[in-house]
Amino acid sequence: MTFARSITSALFACSLLAAADSKTVDKTLPLPLTGSVSLESHNGSIQVSTWDRPQIEIHARIEMNSGFQDREASRRRYEGTRIDIDTSGNSVVIKSKFPEWNNFSGSNPEIHYTINAPRTANWTIRDHNSRIEVRELHAALSIFTHNSRIIVTGLAGAFKLDTHNSDAKVAFSSLTAPSQVDMHNGDVELLLPSSSRFDLQTSSHNARVHSDFPVTTRGTRNRGSDLEGKVNGGGPSLRLNSHNGSFRIRAS
């Protein structure tokens, strides 16, 4: 066998091995414009974009974690990982399913989701250790997460964030419904139009709160401050609760 042919064969074998280390799931389902989506995942990324079609398009790429010492155990976990997608009435439920830990050691694979869904569908995301991006959603969004990075742009709907050890940047196109953030260890930045009307209430312990909007300071304790007041005459409530970390409310 010539040297060139040896190199070609080796590259081909490597490409087959790389291909075996990832697999994809693709599904398109009907979803009413005012339906709901629930997603549960662990490790990887979630990218949600929106459109005006009454359907949801789900693409997921599952990648084996090859950096763990026990590669064979990680491969067994990768091979046993699946994505369950269920529909019921006006809702779609997506769950990342991993083998039980008492069955295999090793490390779970990463799952990377790319999803297009109706702009006015409500969303609930429960996640650990992922990068989450949601763009141009005009409906309610709830995120419950640990150890994640969250970016939301163009949001017009109720917002609920419950986060531990995460950073978030959330840009509202309008604040139209009561919203709340509960944070433990992290940094959260909220960007709202300067004309926004809302009732602000913050409660913090060992945290910092900075607002571009004029509010009435109710008290200060430790390194944080409690703020309460109406902005531009008041409107939907915006409640921010934190333990360690920082909030920044910016006006655009």
**Is the Cβ–Cβ distance between 80 and 26 less than 8 Å?**
no
Distance from the Cα of residue 67 to its chain's centroid: 24
3-state class (DSSP) for residue 192: strand
Structure tokens, 123 = 């969303």
pLDDT tens-place values along the chain, 252 residues long: 454 444 444 444 444 444 458 999 999 999 999 999 999 999 999 999 999 999 999 999 999 987 656 788 888 889 999 999 999 889 999 999 998 876 557 788 999 999 999 999 999 999 999 999 999 999 999 999 999 999 999 999 999 999 999 999 999 999 999 999 999 989 999 999 999 999 999 887 777 888 898 876 554 444 445 778 899 989 999 999 988 888 999 999
Q: Which stretches of the chain are DSSP H helices?
A: 3-20, 71-80
Dist. CA 5–CA 8, nearest whole Å: 5
- Residue 126's alpha-carbon distances to 30, 79, 142, in angstroms, are 22, 23, 8
Write the burial class of residue 7 (CB in 10 Å: 0-12 exposed, 13-18 middle, 19+ buried): exposed
For residue 160, what pLDDT is reported? 98
Instruction: Please provide the distance, in angstroms rounded to a whole number, between the alpha carbons at the two ends of the chain.
Output: 66
Q: For each of the domains in the chain, give its residue range(s) and CATH number, in order of start.
A: 22-251 (2.160.20)
